[in-house]
Structures are given as structure tokens and as C-alpha cells.
Structure 1
Amino acid sequence: MGDNENSATGPDRPDDASQAALEGATAPPPPAPPECPHCGLTLDRRPTHYDGHWVFLEPGVVVAAHTVPPRRRWILTPDGRAMNLWDAEPLPGAHCRIAHRAVCPCLAREDAPSWITALRRRNDHRAQRLFDVPDTWGLPDAG
């Protein structure tokens, strides 16, 4: 047997980097703050099984796996890493997490169940609260 491209040494095998990007495991690693670079919300950042790659999961959202479209289901393994289930059919009663990118109000919309659309609207409202300062909060007059 000879060497092939999947036996590359180093922190990232070429297939890990492309697969991580395809799945949306593009969050900056610690010590960077766990904030979405698009909307500014604080998120749940988890390591993945792709060496050196992290994913932002929507904090506090655990849903019935059968309600999430294929390739959008993330589970936490016993070691605390996030794993995308891709097309695997969830077991009855299984729950999963969703990546923030599916509900980020600043990213392109995709066809999604109505609850994902509602969660995206909720995040839009939360993100606006980060940036909208009431007019009554004006700075004091100098002088």
C-alpha cells in the first residue's frame, strides 16, 4: 500500500479542513470570544472531531432531531465535541443541537421549517438590542 492524500500529517488533513468548512465548523478557537462575527450574539462554541475546528451552536436550543433538516443536526459526544449527523436518520425520541449559522439573522436565508424561521427572527431582535441605543441615552453636553 502506498501513501495517499488522506494520510497527510499535520494539524489538518486536507479532507478535515474542507469537510469542516462544508459543515460550518468555522468558529474561531479560544481564546477568541464566542461571538458571531456577523450578528454579534454570544454563542455556544464547541470543538468538533475535525482537529482544530470549532462550531458555533445556538445556545440553549435542544430540539427533537426529527424536526431538523438532514445535515443540520448536531449532537454532543461524551467528550464534549460536536458532531454533525449529516443524513443519518435520528433514533425515535433523539434530540440534537443546531448550528448558529442556520438561524443567524445576518446570513443568507435558506428553506427551513417555520420554527427555524421564528428562531432567526428572535435572534434578529436580540442582535438589534445589542446595537440600537435609545435616543434618550445621549452623551452629556461637554462644557
Structure 2
Amino acid sequence: MGDTENTASCADPPDDDSGRLTAAWQVLLEGATAPRPPAPPECPFCELPQDRYATSYTGHWVLLEPGIRVPAHTVPPRRRWIITSTGTAVNLWDAEPLPGATCRIPHRIACPRLEPEDHWPWVTALRRHNLERTQRLFELPEEGLPDAG
């Protein structure tokens, strides 16, 4: 008799011979899926401009929320991005941040067009702020506009 109640409903991510995640899955899990240059560094979902950084995965980029640096200990593991001295963005995964360290957060957790990943009050507020920004940029009022004729 086998134990089928605890079986996962989907396949596990593939790993290499040492048990590590393959680079392709790691890229997806970390969100290093930003449009590559020369495309503009805009979110493909909300179209807001972002800060784009190359990652340690060759040919992969990540969009980070512009101008936001937060105390690293306030951000859950796997959402902390550090910019190295060479300008490369590195996700330290589960590494404990040093006291006083700051990090950047990926735009995907604050994108107003994506389903929220986590429920932090400050990210919820940032998501609302970004929604207001997209409305100001892309949703012009229909009343009172002059006819183009």
C-alpha cells in the first residue's frame, strides 16, 4: 500500500546530478525574466518604467522597483536583491543579511497588474501607488476631451 495522500500535485522542478535546481528553473523562480536591452526597461504587465539589471545568469535581466532600498531584514528570503560593485543584481536566496544591510525588491511583487505574492503592508501600499501611477499615465478621462474632427 503506497502513500498517495502526500504526493505533490505537480512535478518538482528538475535538478542536476548534485540535486541543485537547473539554471532555467532558478531564473524563473527568481523572476529574472525582464525584457532584454535594447527593449525599454518597462514591466510587460503594467508598463511602468523600472530599473533593469543584468543578473549572474548570462543573458537574463531583472526589473527592480526604482528608487527603493529597504532594510534587508524586512524583506523575506528570495526577494532580496543586492547590486554588486560591477552592477550585477544578485539574489542571495536564504542567506541571512548582515546587520544594517539594504536591498532592492523585484518589481513583480509590487506590480499592480500581477496577483500579489505576499501580504506586507508596505508592499500593498506600493502596489496601490503603482496602480495610481498607471492610471495617471494610461487612463485619460473620456469626458471633456475635444473632438479630433
Q: Which TM-score band applies after superposition, normalised by the shorter structure?
A: 0.7 to 0.9
What residue in structure 2 maps to residue 49 of structure 1?
56
What residue in structure 2 maps to residue 78 of structure 1?
85
Given candidates 73, 90, 97, the residue that maps to 2:97 is: 90
Aligned residue type for 2:53? R
What residue in structure 1 maps to residue 12 of structure 2?
none
Report 1:1-143 matches (<5 A): 15-135=22-142, 138-142=145-149
Q: Secondary structure of the residue that 1:22 maps to in structure 2?
A: helix
Q: Secondary structure of the residue that 2:29 maps to in structure 1?
A: helix
- Cα distance per residue 1:48-71 (max 9 Å; x no partner): 000000000000000000111111
Contact 2:53 2:88 in 1 (8 A): yes
Per residue, is there more helix in 1 or in 2?
1
Structure-2 separation of matches of 1:91 and 1:28: 31
- Cα distance per residue 1:67-125 (max 9 Å; x no partner): 11111000001110100111111110000000000100110112232111111111111
Name the count of aligned residue pairs.
131
1:128–1:18 CA distance, 2 compared to 1 (3 A)? same
Q: Secondary structure of the residue that 1:135 maps to in structure 2?
A: coil
Q: TM-score, normalised by structure 2?
A: 0.82
Structure-1 separation of matches of 2:141 and 2:131: 17
Moved over 6 A (4+): none
Structure-2 separation of matches of 1:137 and 1:42: 29
Instruction: For residue 136 of structure 1, report the CA deviation from its aligned partner.
Output: 5.1
Where structure 2 has 5 or more consecutive residues not aligned to the other structure, the ranges are: 1-15
Instruction: For residue 130 of structure 1, report the CA deviation from its aligned partner.
Output: 1.5
Instruction: For residue 140 of structure 1, report the CA deviation from its aligned partner.
Output: 3.1
Instruction: For residue 138 of structure 1, report the CA deviation from its aligned partner.
Output: 2.1
